[in-house]
Amino acid sequence: MDKQCYVYILASKRNVTLYTGFTGALTNGIWQHKNKVADGFTKGYRVCLLVYYEIFGDTREGIRGEKVPKRWRRTWKIVLIEAANPG
């Protein structure tokens, strides 16, 4: 069995700017975004609020799982977020 991994969506504010990512350590990954450890999109747009995540049982499945919402329209992502996390 492969290592458990996560696909997540972050927002700058309530569904303003969205970012979809993939990590093997959700808590550490979100901490890095919140503390602006790495330069990039999330640091530049202040995207650090976890609004959705999904757990995958292996890395290959997780990578495929990340690619799906990245191709989605913004409205589809918002529907997914609101269904899983209405607050």
d(CA 42, CA 47): 5
Question: Can you give the pLDDT at residue 67?
Answer: 80
Neighbouring C-beta atoms of residue 48, cutoff 10 Å: 18
The answer to whether residue 15 scores a pLDDT higher than 80 is no
d(CA 60, CA 3): 10
This prediction's pTM: 0.84
How many whole angstroms separate alpha carbon 36 and alpha carbon 30?
10
Per-domain residue ranges for the chain?
Answer: 5-84
| Token pair recorded at residue 15 | 């569904």
Which fold does the domain 5-84 belong to in CATH? GIY-YIG endonuclease (3.40.1440)
Using alpha carbons, select from 54, 57, 52, 50 the residue that is nearest to residue 32. 50
Tens of pLDDT, residue by residue over 41-60, are 888 888 999 999 999 998 88
- Residue 71's pLDDT band, with cuts at 50, 70 and 90, is confident
